[in-house]
Structure formats: C-alpha cells, structure tokens
C-alpha cells in the first residue's frame, strides 16, 4: 500500500494512506528517530552526516512510493535545522525549488550532475559527467585557436592573389597558365565538402576556415578565367556550385533549410568527392602510369551505386553511417594527398626544391597546427587526422627538405621543429588535464577508439 510521510508545522508526524496500527506506530517511531538524528547532525561534518543517514536507513526508513502531490511538506519553515531535515527526508517530499534541495543535490553528487542548473549543451556529448570548469575553459580556448587559423591561411593565399592581379593588370596573362585550374578546382571541392561537414557539426570556427578557403580559391579561379587559363563553361559551372554550396551550408547552419534539400546536397558532394579523389591520386604518377580517366569513372559509378543503395534502404546501419561520412573523408584525403604529391615532385625534381617558399610552408604548418587542439578536444578523428597530417607532411616535411638542401638556416629549422613538437605536446597535456586523465595517452586512445560510457568510469 502506497504510504507517504507528512510533517506539520508543529513537527508532528502522520501517514497518508492505510495499514495496521502496529506498523504505523513502528514507522512513526522510526521517522521520529530519523528526524532527531537530522537535527543533531545539522552542525556535524558532512562525512558524519552521511553515516547518520546510513544508520537511519538501516533502522527501517523506507522511501515512500507515492508522488509528491499526495502529501505536502513546507521544509523552509524549519529554518534553524532545515539542512539536517532535508538531508534525511526522501527527495520526492522535498520541494524542487527549495534551496536546501539544490544544496543537497550539489553536495551529494557534485557540481557536474546539476545539469538542470547549468546548461552544458555547448560541450561535446562525451564530456557529460565531468567537471565543467576545466572543460568549459579548454573548450573556449580551443575554439579560439581554431578561429585563429584563419590568419595564416589567409596569408597563405593572399600573395598568390596579389601576384595574379599584378600580372593581369600588366597584360601578362601567360603567367597565370602556370597555375593548374584543375588543382584549384579540386581544392575548392575539398573546402566545400569540409564546410558541409563542419556545418553539420555546428563548428562555426572551422566553418569560417573552410569558407575562407572557398572564397580565396574562387578568387584565384576567377583570375584564371579572366586570363583565359580556364574554360568558360567550367568556370560558370564552378561559380554556380560555389554560390549554391555557400548558401545551402549557411542555411543549414542557421536551421532554415529543409532536410531533403540538405540530403541531396550531401549526395552531390559525396559523389563528386569520391569521383575526384582516385583521379587526382592516379594523375600524380602519370609519368609512370598511363594517362587515363578510368579511375575517376569507376569511382563515379561506385559512388552513385552507394548513394542509391543508401537511399533505397539496402544498407545496414553501419553502411548508412559509412556512406554519409564519405564526403568528409574524401575531402580530408584530398588535402592529405597534397603533401604526398608535393613530396613526390620533390623526389622527381630535387633541383626545383629551391622554388618552395619556407614562409608558405611555415604558414601551412601553423594554420593546420592551430586546429589540432580543437579536433582532439571534440574527439573528431577525421579532423585530427587531416590537420595533423597536413601540419607534419605538408608544412614540416617540406621545411625538412628545404633544410636538407641548405635552403634555410639551421636556426629556422630547429625553431620550427621545437615549436611543432611543443605545440602537440601541450595540446595532449592540456586535454588530459581538462578531462581529468592521468596520462595524455588516454586522450589519444579516446580519439581513436572513442570514449567509454559514463557507466564504465
């Protein structure tokens, strides 16, 4: 039979419900003893009050099964000993708005459990149940690092844009023929794919980086079209894709785009990215492989088949997740292939290494390195892989090549080496502190294999 404890202003106890007289007297005696222990223990240390609670429960206090609406309790009228009483009464009888109830919850479960009091929606889902102070601080810092990556990436493309403008103004259009429009188009598609990926994840700082990449690359493509270094039909199609892509991505970010339209855009960038990647990889080794478009066509057929099977529900849940992640991974692999292509060119023509700009490689290393802490913090393995790969194999590896061929000073090389290693070490150490790990290797394990559930902690 459902029963509930009722406390009146005169501190007398009674029961709501029915039962034997002997049982009622026994429960009244138990409740009275518990009430007395609560009053006595009000000014005792917290650990001793917990022991008194345990003793009271062992003496026979049971949690009532009725709802709070069936009986009432005005605990705030027991101000002199309210904390002691609130500590021993069932939570179903304690008013939700009571200060004592909130104090008890925070003290009993810690500050991380009061989700109703402090919103943590901006933190990664895997961070629930952890101390918020360090997490929120590191969350804010990593977001600022990611936003700061816009500066080196802007400086990376700006010299090329200025040089192209000077050549166009002087009438030297042939100088722009040295820039392959197909490579610029590939980079543009990669930026658009990653923009869609980060828009879906609501990572606005990374979105700004990719948006800047799209705009700066499109400016170069406009200059190539003005110099007639790019066919006009290809330029018009590229312009339409850029305009549609930027519009849809920001509409989706602000929640004003319907889901079916967004899905069709995702299908488009999935098919486009998966078709371009094998063709670019094949073209890198064209001097040693026959010039063919077969890789691109084969990849296009596979991509269309995968998207159609996903649309018709022919894939498992894991298969659906895989297809939907293709666009992000193909964009990442496109950017990861850029340093491979550059290193291959260095191997074939080492005499041309002096044409590389050490400042450009340093800016590429800094820009990608600034995004590593954020990718590690939100446990985004794809983002972390692409940023770390570009920082080490595109920026630092080319700096190493320049040093080996005596194109840069020893001090420049050592400063770049020490700075990159120190930055990576700091990112892992600070991340382990924010998550309360004893070793930075734990952060790396969670990044690769995922974080275990809170029940496993």
Token code pair at residue 182:
């197909």
Residues 325 and 364 in one domain: no
Q: What is the pLDDT of residue 308?
A: 92
Residues 426 and 335 in one domain: no
Beta bridge partners of 4: 16
Residues 371 and 411 in one domain: yes
Q: Residue 152: pLDDT above 80?
A: yes
User: Is 135 part of a structural domain of the chain?
Assistant: no
User: Is 265 part of a structural domain of the chain?
Assistant: yes
Q: What is the pLDDT of residue 70?
A: 40
| Tens digits of residue pLDDT in 38-68 | 444 444 444 444 444 444 444 444 444 444 3
**Mean pLDDT computed over every residue of the chain:** 75
Q: What is the pLDDT of residue 359?
A: 87
DSSP 234-298: HHHHHHHHHHHHHHHHHHHHTT-S-HHHHHHHHHHHHHHHHHHHHHHHHHHTTTTS---SHHHHH
Residues 103 and 31 in one domain: yes
| Tens digits of residue pLDDT in 228-287 | 988 899 899 999 999 999 999 999 988 899 989 999 998 998 898 888 889 888 888 877
Tell me which range, 71-75, 196-200, 356-360, is most confidently predicted by mean pLDDT: 196-200
Mean pLDDT confidence for 399-424:
93
Residues 15 and 101 in one domain: yes
Note down the domain range covering 312.
Answer: 261-343
Question: Where residue 289 falls among pLDDT bands split at 50, 70, 90?
Answer: confident
Residues 164 and 249 in one domain: yes
Residues 253 and 280 in one domain: no
User: Is 331 part of a structural domain of the chain?
Assistant: yes
Residue 14: strand, helix, or coil: strand
Token code pair at residue 250:
């920001």
Task: State CA 51 to chain mean position distance.
Answer: 43
* Residues 123 and 132: beta-carbon distance below 8 Å: yes
Q: What is the pLDDT of residue 349?
A: 76
Residue 7: strand, helix, or coil: strand
Q: What is the pLDDT of residue 235?
A: 93
Cα(370)–Cα(360) distance, integer angstroms = 16
Residues 361 and 327 in one domain: no
User: Is 126 part of a structural domain of the chain?
Assistant: no
User: Is 81 part of a structural domain of the chain?
Assistant: yes
Token code pair at residue 446:
């969670």
Q: What is the pLDDT of residue 214?
A: 92
| Tens digits of residue pLDDT in 153-198 | 888 888 888 888 998 999 888 888 877 787 788 788 888 888 988 8
Last residue in a domain, options 199, 222, 257: 257
Q: Residue 356: pLDDT above 80?
A: no
- DSSP class of 2: -
What does pTM read for this prediction? 0.63
pLDDT over 70 for what percent of the chain?
69
Token code pair at residue 138:
């590191």
Question: Where residue 288 falls among pLDDT bands split at 50, 70, 90?
Answer: confident
Question: Where residue 15 falls among pLDDT bands split at 50, 70, 90?
Answer: very low
248: exposed, middle or buried (Cβ count in 10 Å: 0-12, 13-18, 19+): buried
| Tens digits of residue pLDDT in 94-149 | 343 333 333 334 433 433 333 333 334 455 655 555 557 778 899 999 999 999 99
Number of structural domains found in the chain: 4
User: Is 26 part of a structural domain of the chain?
Assistant: yes
**Dihedral (Cα; 229, 234, 239, 241), 10-degree rounding:** -140
Residues 390 and 444 in one domain: yes
Residues 338 and 410 in one domain: no
Cα(391)–Cα(381) distance, integer angstroms = 15
Tell me which range, 10-19, 50-59, 112-121, 378-387, is most confidently predicted by mean pLDDT: 378-387
Phi, psi for residue 148 in degrees, rounded to 5:
-65, -20
Last residue in a domain, options 80, 107, 134: 107
Q: Residue 375: pLDDT above 90?
A: yes
Q: What is the pLDDT of residue 247?
A: 94
Last residue in a domain, options 343, 363, 391: 343
Mean pLDDT confidence for 196-202:
87
Residues 162 and 250 in one domain: yes
User: Is 382 part of a structural domain of the chain?
Assistant: yes
């Amino acid at each position: 039979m459902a029963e509930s404890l009722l406390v009146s202003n005169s501190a007398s106890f009674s029961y709501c419900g029915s039962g034997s007289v002997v049982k009622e007297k026994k429960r009244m005696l138990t409740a009275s003893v518990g009430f007395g222990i609560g009053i006595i223990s009000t000014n005792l240390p917290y650990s001793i009050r917990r022991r008194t609670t345990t003793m009271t429960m062992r003496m026979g206090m049971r949690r009532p099964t009725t709802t709070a609406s069936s009986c009432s309790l005005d605990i705030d009228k027991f101000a002199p000993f309210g904390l002691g009483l609130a500590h021993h009464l069932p939570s179903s009888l304690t008013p939700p708005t009571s200060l004592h109830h909130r104090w008890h919850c925070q003290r009993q479960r810690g500050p991380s459990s009061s989700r109703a009091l402090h919103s943590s929606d901006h933190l990664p889902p895997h961070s629930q149940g952890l101390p918020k102070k360090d997490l929120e601080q590191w969350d804010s810092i990593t977001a600022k690092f990611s936003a700061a990556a816009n500066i080196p990436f802007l400086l990376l493309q700006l010299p090329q844009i200025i040089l192209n403008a000077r050549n166009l103004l002087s009438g030297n259009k042939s100088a722009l023929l040295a820039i392959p429009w197909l490579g610029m188009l590939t980079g543009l598609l990669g930026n658009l794919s990653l923009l869609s990926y980060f828009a879906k994840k609501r990572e606005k700082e990374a979105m700004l980086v990719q948006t800047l990449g799209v705009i700066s690359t499109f400016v170069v493509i406009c200059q190539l079209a003005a110099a007639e270094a790019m066919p006009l039909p290809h330029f018009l199609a590229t312009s339409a894709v850029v305009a549609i892509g930027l519009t849809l991505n920001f509409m989706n970010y602000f929640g004003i785009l319907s889901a079916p339209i967004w899905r069709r855009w995702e299908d488009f960038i999935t098919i486009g990215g998966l078709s371009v990647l094998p063709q670019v990889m094949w073209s890198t080794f064209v001097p040693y492989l026959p010039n063919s478009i077969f890789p691109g066509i084969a990849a296009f057929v596979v991509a269309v088949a995968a998207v159609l099977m996903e649309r018709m529900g022919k894939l498992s849940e894991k298969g659906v997740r895989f297809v939907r992640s293709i666009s992000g991974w193909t964009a990442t692999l496109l950017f990861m292939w850029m340093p491979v292509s550059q290193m291959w060119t260095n191997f074939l023509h080492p005499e041309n290494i002096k044409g590389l700009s050490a400042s450009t490689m340093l800016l590429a290393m800094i820009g990608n390195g600034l995004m590593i802490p954020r990718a590690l913090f939100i446990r985004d393995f794809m983002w972390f892989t692409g940023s770390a790969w570009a920082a080490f194999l595109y920026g630092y590896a080319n700096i190493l090549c320049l040093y080996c061929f005596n194109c840069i000073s020893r001090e420049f090389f050592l400063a770049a080496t020490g700075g990159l290693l120190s930055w990576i070490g700091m990112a892992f150490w600070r991340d382990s502190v924010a998550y309360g790990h004893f070793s930075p290797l734990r952060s790396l394990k969670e990044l690769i294999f995922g974080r275990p559930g809170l029940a496993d902690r």
